[in-house]
Amino acid sequence: MTEGDQYTLSPAYGAQVKKDGLEKDKDKWTLVLVRELRHSPEKVWQALTETAQLREWAPFVVDGNLDRVGKTVKLTWVGNPTPIDTTVTQSDAPRVLEFGDIQWELEALGSGTRLTLWHKIDRRFITWGAAGWHIGIEVLDRLLSGTPTGRIVGADPIKSESWKRLVGEYAKQFGVEPPGRKPDAPNCY
């Protein structure tokens, strides 16, 4: 993503942070991001679970579909070459998907879907995570609409003014300072 973006990112919206981490996860907060998509839950579900579709929009790659409870895949975050063995802990198509520190909920909304993401992220990088998922879900929506922009992840978005704007908007909404450098946490967008 560069200053000549093919489209304009929407302002920060639909996100909140739960700061009530358990003792074992005291350095992680939960990002909750809600979006309304124009696509059916079944179509969104495929994009969340199928390896080929994840490669088009998600900030990670997996070596198998995320389609059934108990399935373990190697998940590799863009920018972090070390794969993580990740097990699908919930899979109720097309309603709930959970693996690692991520949970998706899909709710039919007319002919579309209300998509809710819960992602536990190192609290120092919560604004990066919010901005990254914001971009990822917009890329997902365009992919499902038949107007793909290509995946925008890793170091690419941080170069743009849109990224800086989003990080600042989310920092203000969450009442935190944005990080001043590229995050090195492996599960931070």
Query: In this predicted model, what pLDDT tens digit does every residue of 93-110 receive, in sequence order?
Result: 999 999 999 999 999 999
CA 140 – CA 98 distance, rounded (Å): 18
- At 132 the pLDDT is 93
- At 162 the pLDDT is 87
For residue 98, the one-letter residue type is: E
Tally Cβ neighbours within 10 Å of residue 83: 15
- At 170 the pLDDT is 96
Average the pLDDT over each of 75-89, 127-141, 156-170 and give the range with the smallest value: 156-170
- At 27 the pLDDT is 86
Mean pLDDT score of the chain: 89
Pairing of strands 15-18, 60-62: unpaired
Whether 20 has a pLDDT exceeding 90, the answer reads no
Whether 74 has a pLDDT exceeding 50, the answer reads yes
Q: Which domains can be identified in the chain, with CATH numbers?
A: 15-174 (3.30.530.20)
For residue 70, the one-letter residue type is: G
Query: How many residues would you count in the chain?
Result: 189
Whether 67 has a pLDDT exceeding 90, the answer reads yes
- At 1 the pLDDT is 42
**For 120-156, b where at least 16 C-beta lie within 10 A, e where not — what string?**
bbbbbbbbbbbbbbbbbbbbbbbbbeeeebebbbeeb
Reduced DSSP (H G I as helix, E B as strand, rest coil) percent helix, strand, coil of the chain, to 5: 30, 30, 40
- At 137 the pLDDT is 96
CA 114 – CA 123 distance, rounded (Å): 25
Which residue in the block uniquely carries the two structure tokens 């929009």? Answer: 57
- At 159 the pLDDT is 79
Find the mean pLDDT for residues 42-58: 97
Average the pLDDT over each of 30-39, 55-64, 127-136, 146-155 and give the range with the smallest value: 146-155
pTM: 0.88
> Which residues does 180 contact at the CB level (< 8 Å), separation at least 6?
none
Whether omega before 94 lies within 30 degrees of 0, making that bond cis, reads: yes
pLDDT tier, 5 (very low <50, low <70, confident <90, very high otherwise): very low
The interaxial angle of helices 126-144 and 161-174, nearest 10 deg, is 120
Q: Which two tokens stand for residue 160?
A: 């743009």
- At 79 the pLDDT is 87
Q: Classify 36 as helix, strand or coil.
A: strand
- At 21 the pLDDT is 61
